[in-house]
Structure 1
């Protein structure tokens, strides 16, 4: 049976009121048809509407149903593979362009929140936490790299300083990025969707796209209607399925798990994260956590390759919560859920064009909150005929997983096991 509502998450339970959006029926025409009402699709639609385009968005379930409404809610800069990797693989010129864009997504989020008065519990400050001196060395190199690209809101934290911002003895230090931060992710995309509609954009929920008819004016089909457009934007990411087979070949949906505690007392919440920053650690399969607006601990981590739903999310995540904060050993878990992100072999986003008028962006590889907002801007620029920044992403090489679709899950899981062992052994 097809899902018709958001997953049973803390975010869905605390979502701002949102209007009913009826399914697509009949045949309609528009300038741009966007497939997917998550961050990428809604961000693209909003940028296009601000430039005067007519836009229709088709969503299979509800706005923010996928990763945009399930993620850890952390504003983390750059990409899943950092700019130095792009320098080595693509060259200095392309790295310069992508480096200049690496911190733009966080600015776009803050601009959207301010411009459209989006209520999403925005807080500033994000910490990268190191378990050992080797990881501290990586953070020091990252700080120098980011500063080389003009990002200066960074501070190295020694053990005394990190203990002032995270009340745990697990870390030897870290790095604070004050342009990072955290938000209620579902309320962010719901607010952006309302902004789309305020500018005349149309959003149809419960409108699963069944096929895209290519041509000079592509036709996007659902069970009950069609949208004829000048351009199509494919923004389904990990929830796209096999709608566009050539996009599925070089990516793999993966699941990550999140739990949320009952509300904590003000005193306990303040003692755990005194500055209310969000935190992610430096392990390969990292943990990430923060406080919600109503003082719950939101704690996530782990990866399920192939995006299967675990039988017991709490059992997977709670041990790491308690290891980090023994103070919470008796706390009740109110919500536990899983959400999918799309992994690429390079860990860099896949951006491109099919024919002359079908655009796509996918494969954020776990760094989606900021990148997807940037993606909306560069997709809109390309549709307007300004493709230089789009081309910087589109020219990145992407490869299929070794062994094809049959072996991509075990291949990636073996690789993850190797890096987990490196983390545990400290080398």
Structure 2
């Protein structure tokens, strides 16, 4: 099953709110003939475009190959939340890796949010960064841990942009009876992800990157130089950066064994207007809750509620995404029962066993950076910058991320689908208990 085409039309963006309202780019050409470059980047999402941009700014000759359209994958479809920290919280990382490694990973994560905020300020990015993400606890027993985590971040990291929320303040900020407390990150935020990735493409082109769309890589032969083939082109490159995430397929089974694709779904309501928006979520914050099969939601710039979540048992999108996601939305906001759904779409992301990104040097001149596990707007964008500096000989941050121990999924790529079904059944059940 080819996840690039099983749910989507070749060369077309999904029917998302983002695609319907984006300042889209004219299609880039297909790769054709014999091409040579310093670096070939595979994948036109956050990681690939950021890598291409930062490499070109360092003077490298860069070719970027995208199998569909730039921003076609998870980068252009996600909830737009620019989360602070790694996918695992710092207390978990300290237990796993020790204090020094965990502290270093925290600094990298903070750099990722700063990078997105800086990029969003470019005139070529037609999207604003909106500050504030609320972590909402859906079980009362989780609140004490959330508040302990806030204290830990204040005392151990000197990080004061996070504060605890009790039940009353949570309900003041989010008009829902579903949550018992939690925390808020004042320096995290949200952004239109497709506009961000299209802006990265504009910046990359301005820096000299050659972008090719509808150019799926069929084979990668490692060597010095490496050789990549598409249907119509053969690319010779001194270095390769793979930023394929959930759409990798079987291009490299070493990565596929550790990064599993899963689907997620989002709906966009009709415009609700500024007053109703403020009554539902104050101060234009984004919200993500404590479920394993997470609910995440925020408002668009034209006052639509963008609500994402729900589980998926397999890789084909459900026939009625709107109905599937409307159900958890009404569990959180029953007052929206009369609201029309204008857009509904799905996408595929890449997760790892430990939910930490998978950075791997596949050979001396081939890097892979993926598996952002739903935390990729910031970290995947930074991953591209890290890939560029690694090729330039500064591998400290790459090595820091690559040293996080990870395990392959049992059975590797061959058992993905049955493993996915069992996992999602278990975690959806756990969320209900």
Instruction: Report the TM-score, using the length of structure 1 for normalisation.
Output: 0.94
Cα separation, 1, equivalents of 2:97 and 2:168: 39
Residue 180, structure 1, aligned to residue 180, structure 2 = no
- Partner secondary structure for residue 209 of structure 1: coil
Equivalent in the alignment of 1:57: 64
Would the aligned equivalents of 1:100 and 1:149 in 2 still touch at CA under 8 Å?
Answer: no
Distance 1:270 1:91 in 2: 42
2:202, 2:17 → 1: CA distance?
21
Aligned-pair distance for 1:67? Answer: 0.1
- Kept in 2, the 8 Å contact 1:252–1:306? The answer is no
Partner of 2:110: 103
Paired residue for 2:355, among 342, 347, 360?
Answer: 347
Q: Which moved more, 1:272-281 or 1:62-71?
A: 272-281
Residues 253, 305 of structure 1: 8 Å contact kept: no
Q: After the TM superposition, which parts of structure 1 deviate over 6 Å for at least 4 consecutive aligned residues?
A: none
Conserved? CA contact 1:29–1:228, under 8 Å:
yes
Task: Specify the alignment match of 1:391 in structure 2.
Answer: 399
Which ranges of structure 2 fall in alignment gaps of 5 or more residues?
A: none
List per-residue Cα deviations over 1:364-398 (Å, max 9, x = no partner). Answer: 11111111022112211211111121111112222
Which of 329, 342, 352 pairs up with 2:337? 329
Q: Which runs of 5+ in 1 are unaligned?
A: none
C-alpha contact 2:75 2:193 (8 A) present in aligned 1: yes
Match of 2:95 among 80, 88, 98: 88
Q: Is the 8 A contact 2:293 2:431 kept in 1?
A: no
Q: State the shift of 1:401 in Å.
A: 1.9
1:196-235 paired onto structure 2 within 5 Å: 196-235=204-243
Deviation at 1:42, TM superposition (A): 0.7
- CA separation of 1:20/1:402 partners in 2, compared to 1, >3 Å: closer, same or farther? closer
Deviations 1:245-279 (A, max 9, x none): 21111221100110111111332222112211110
Matched positions, count: 425
Question: Equivalent of 2:149, from 122, 129, 142?
Answer: 142
Partner of 1:157: 165
Contact 2:120 2:128 in 1 (8 A): no
Residue among 13, 20, 27 paired with 1:6: 13
Query: Do residues 238 (structure 1) and 249 (structure 2) align?
Result: no
What residue in structure 2 maps to residue 303 of structure 1? Answer: 311
The alpha carbon displacement at 1:421 in A equals 4.1
Q: 1:363–1:335: structure 2 CA closer, same or farther, 3 Å change rule?
A: same
- CA 1:406–1:233 in 2, change beyond 3 Å: closer, same or farther? closer
Whole-angstrom CA distance in 1 between matches of 2:234 and 2:148: 51
Take 2:384 and 2:64, find their aligned partners in 1: how far apart are those partners? 13
User: For 1:24, which of 27, 31, 35 is the aligned residue?
Assistant: 31
Specify whether residues 185 and 138 from structure 1 end up closer, same or farther in structure 2 by C-alpha distance, changes over 3 A only.
same
**Over aligned residues, Cα RMSD in angstroms?**
1.8
The answer as to whether partners of 2:32 and 2:234 remain within 8 angstroms in 1 is yes
Number of the residue aligned with 2:127 = 120
Aligned to 1:15: 22
Closer, same or farther in 2 for the Cα pair 1:338/1:108, shift >3 Å?
same
8 Å contact kept, 2:121–2:128: no
Deviation string, structure 1 residues 204-238 (Cα, Å, up to 9, x no partner): 11111111122111122111112221110001110
User: 1: distance between equivalents of 2:184 and 2:177?
Assistant: 17
Normalised TM-score (structure 2): 0.93
What aligned pairs does 1:244-263 form with structure 2 within 5 A after superposition? 244-263=252-271
1:412 CA displacement = 5.0
How far 1:166 sits from its partner (Å)? 1.1
